[in-house]
């Protein structure tokens, strides 16, 4: 019987029944002398024994200032060793860590502090033009006049503690070392009792999704979801205690926190941080110096690394595997990474924050063609179906529909947002992703776009991903994204934003001529814009809605965009 576009991942390995803290303690005892964390830019090296000690110190320090089970602890920082320590320490004491995007400014910070009802904030010092202390004081000036741990503010009634991730803390804030020292007043037995009171179904993390409209939503994830997602991802890359993962993706995002950190922690592998933020040169240097066996990144990061002027000077021969994820992965870029970066076992993971994040994954055993043209098959212990978004019925294999997922990985809810929760999670606990895809006879999934990104031109449904993949075959094109812009006659028209290879020039007519006779006429972009960069958020995700806004303004289509359609 044909089950349609439905599949359920099977495995002979059961799900792990541990909290994040329990899992980490077990791995630290198993691999005490293996390097757990190397922060190149900070000059820090911790073995698993060292990292466990740091975790327990911070956990007890947070308990000493009154952090209870279920309290929200926000962290506003880039990729530092302290971020990883905080990730595990908060989990050990049953607190819920709230990831605050380092790109946020005062207005967005205030929203997250209120919406997540944060009691304790950990923040870093200035980085380049971002003055985190200054922005925090602008949002909450009362802290400067308060005693550390005794903050009272009407604006943020839950907020009590502010911890400065460094020495010489500003007035009203604890320093990092001070918190760790205060932990000496909490016994090991008290820490153990707190950890024993936890369940793996408890909430452990709130991650804010980067919504295209309105305020972001806080995704609540459990210990069970992120421990098992990280473990399955590590299995998919064949991680062992001998692997060393270069992590240039941001920790605040599910890619860095789960696909990277927890994939390493569950397997005793080494987390290597090349810098506080992504820098292609630092990544290449880090891979060679630290002899990394794996590398993670979004497609734009891999493109930047491949096109770096000093790329050929660095040895990539230790690389074996890694993940390209976060946004659709161009096939040609995947092939280059396989060939030029020696990542013969690189895999793709597809998912979203609401699913912890992985839903499907290619494996190191999949043939190259599968690994460059699909996002793999459903994770073990996870269900997936592809439905007609209008009727909710499962579509036949090979047909386009909305991807839905169900299982251990699905979020508990959006924090303090029941209406958004009900709009995403249906009565049967299926998470509706908003992504459009197909499933073939063997269960491999392809992503064709977003429901909101789909372009309807004169009644024809057009999936931008298909055109982007085609244009990537042009030798002059380094990267390309296709969007829909308003059109009075057809409703929408196609526009391509193109970045050409260094030293090359190109015209819009060249692009259209390349398309003629090879793809349907209605899929040929009417408008072409050549750029040196694309609008994207801090995690490297392309912001197509910004591209559309810019294009409407530059093309003078404001009036057309206001035409109401049925």
3-state SS of 32-54 is CCCEEEEEHHHCEEEEHHHHHHH
Distance of CA 483 to CAs 211, 419, 480, 563, Å?
Answer: 18, 29, 10, 18
Can you give the residue range of the structural domain that contains 166?
47-208
Q: What is the pLDDT along the chain (566 residues), one digit of tens a residue?
A: 667 999 999 999 999 999 999 999 999 999 999 999 999 999 999 999 999 999 999 999 999 999 999 999 999 999 999 999 999 999 999 999 999 989 888 988 999 999 999 999 999 999 988 899 999 999 999 999 999 999 999 999 999 999 999 999 999 999 999 999 999 999 999 999 999 999 999 999 999 986 544 578 999 999 999 999 999 999 999 999 999 999 999 999 999 999 999 999 999 999 999 999 999 999 999 999 999 999 999 888 998 999 999 999 999 999 999 999 877 677 888 889 999 999 999 999 999 999 999 999 999 889 888 888 899 999 999 999 999 999 999 999 999 999 999 999 999 999 999 999 999 999 999 999 999 999 999 999 998 877 878 787 876 778 888 899 899 999 999 999 999 999 887 888 999 999 999 999 999 999 999 999 888 888 999 999 999 999 987 667 788 989 999 999 999 998 887 764 33
258 occurs within a structural domain: no
358 occurs within a structural domain: no
End-of-domain residue from the set 208, 225, 241: 208
End-of-domain residue from the set 174, 208, 242: 208
Task: For residue 526, give the CATH number of its domain.
Answer: 3.30.300.30
442 occurs within a structural domain: no
96 occurs within a structural domain: yes
Tokens of 8: 């359920």
Paired strand residues for 394? 387
Name the residue among 456, 466, 455, 461 with its Cα closest to residue 544.
455
Residue 266 has what pLDDT?
A: 98
304 occurs within a structural domain: no
Task: For residue 176, give the CATH number of its domain.
Answer: 3.40.50.12780
The secondary structure of residue 454, as a DSSP letter, is -
Residue 214 has what pLDDT?
A: 56
Paired strand residues for 270? 244
273 occurs within a structural domain: no
* Cα(554)–Cα(415) distance, integer angstroms: 38
282 occurs within a structural domain: no
- Under 8 Å CB-to-CB from 213, ≥6 apart: which residues? 545
Name the strand (E) or helix (H) holding 28.
helix 20-30
Where would I find the beta strands (DSSP E) of 368-439?
377-378, 382-387, 401-407, 413-414, 431-439
What is residue 208's three-state secondary structure?
A: strand
CA 481 to chain centre: 20
Distance of CA 25 to CAs 48, 84, 181, 186, 192, Å?
Answer: 9, 14, 21, 18, 11
Residue 263 has what pLDDT?
A: 98
* Pair 395, 388: CB distance under 8 Å: yes
For every residue of 354-372, DSSP letters joined together read GGSSEEEE--TTS-HHHHH
Range 357-363, long-range pairs (CB < 8 A, 24+ positions): 357/229, 357/254, 357/255, 357/258, 357/259, 357/409, 358/229, 358/232, 358/233, 358/258, 358/259, 358/409, 359/384, 359/403, 359/405, 359/409, 359/433, 360/384, 360/445, 361/232, 361/233, 361/236, 362/236, 363/236
Domains of the chain: total:
2
280 occurs within a structural domain: no
* Pair 436, 463: CB distance under 8 Å: yes
Name the residue among 208, 205, 212 with its Cα closest to residue 230.
205
Name the residue among 131, 169, 168 with its Cα closest to residue 148.
169
By residue count, the chain amounts to: 566
- Under 8 Å CB-to-CB from 328, ≥6 apart: which residues? 299, 447, 465, 468
Name the strand (E) or helix (H) holding 280.
helix 280-289
Q: What is the pTM of this model?
A: 0.86
* Cα(366)–Cα(301) distance, integer angstroms: 23
Strands 35-39 and 44-47: antiparallel
End-of-domain residue from the set 173, 208, 243: 208
What is residue 499's three-state secondary structure?
A: strand
* Cα(536)–Cα(253) distance, integer angstroms: 14
């Amino acid at each position: 019987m044909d089950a349609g576009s439905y599949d359920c991942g099977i495995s002979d390995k059961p799900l792990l029944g541990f909290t994040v803290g329990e899992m980490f303690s077990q791995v630290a005892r198993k691999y005490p002398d293996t390097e757990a964390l190397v922060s190149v830019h900070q000059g820090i090296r911790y073995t698993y024994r060292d990292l466990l000690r740091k975790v327990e110190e911070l956990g007890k320090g947070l308990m000493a200032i009154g952090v209870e089970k279920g309290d929200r602890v926000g962290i506003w920082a880039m990729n530092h060793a302290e971020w990883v320590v905080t990730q595990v320490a908060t989990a050990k004491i049953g607190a819920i860590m709230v990831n605050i995007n380092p790109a946020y400014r005062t207005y967005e910070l205030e929203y997250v502090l209120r919406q997540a009802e944060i009691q304790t904030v950990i923040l870093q010092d200035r980085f380049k033009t971002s003055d985190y202390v200054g922005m925090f004081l602008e949002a909450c000036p009362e802290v400067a006049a308060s005693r550390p741990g005794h903050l009272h503010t009407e604006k943020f009634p839950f907020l009590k503690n502010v911890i400065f991730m460094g020495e010489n803390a500003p007035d009203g804030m604890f320093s990092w070392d001070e918190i760790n020292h205060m932990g000496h007043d909490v016994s090991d037995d008290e820490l153990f009792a707190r950890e024993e009171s936890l369940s793996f179904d408890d909430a452990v993390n709130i991650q804010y999704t980067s919504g295209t409209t309105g305020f972001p939503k806080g995704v609540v994830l459990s210990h069970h979801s992120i421990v098992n997602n990280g473990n399955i991802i590590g299995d998919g890359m064949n991680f062992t205690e001998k692997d060393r993962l270069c992590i240039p993706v941001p920790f605040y995002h599910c890619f860095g926190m789960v696909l990277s950190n927890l994939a390493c922690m569950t397997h005793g592998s080494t987390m290597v941080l090349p810098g506080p933020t992504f820098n292609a040169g630092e990544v290449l240097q880090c891979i060679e110096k630290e002899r990394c066996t794996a590398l993670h990144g979004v497609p734009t990061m891999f493109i930047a690394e491949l096109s770096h002027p000093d790329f050929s000077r660095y040895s990539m021969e230790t690389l074996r595997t890694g993940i390209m994820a976060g946004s659709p992965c161009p096939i040609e870029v995947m092939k280059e990474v396989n060939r030029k970066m020696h990542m013969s076992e690189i895999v793709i993971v597809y998912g979203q924050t609401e699913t912890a994040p992985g839903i499907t994954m290619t494996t190191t055993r999949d043939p190259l063609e599968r690994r460059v043209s699909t996002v793999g098959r459903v994770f073990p212990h996870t269900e997936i179906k592809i439905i007609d978004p209008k009727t909710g019925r499962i579509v036949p294999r090979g047909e386009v529909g909305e991807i839905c997922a169900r299982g251990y990985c699905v979020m508990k809810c959006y924090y303090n947002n029941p209406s958004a929760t009900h709009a995403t999670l249906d009565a049967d606990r299926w998470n509706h992703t908003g992504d459009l895809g197909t499933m073939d006879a063997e269960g491999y999934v392809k992503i064709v776009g977003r429901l909101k990104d789909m372009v309807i031109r004169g009644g024809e449904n057009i999936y931008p991903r298909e055109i982007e993949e085609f244009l990537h075959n042009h030798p002059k094109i380094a990267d390309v994204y296709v969007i829909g812009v308003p059109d009075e006659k057809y409703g929408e028209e196609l526009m391509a934003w193109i970045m050409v290879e260094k030293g090359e020039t190109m015209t819009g007519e060249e692009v259209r001529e390349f398309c003629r006779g090879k793809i349907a006429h209605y899929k040929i972009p009417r408008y072409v814009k050549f750029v040196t960069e694309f609008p994207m958020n801090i995690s490297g995700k392309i912001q197509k809605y910004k591209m559309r806004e810019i294009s409407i303004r530059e093309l003078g289509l404001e009036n057309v965009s206001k035409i109401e359609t049925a």
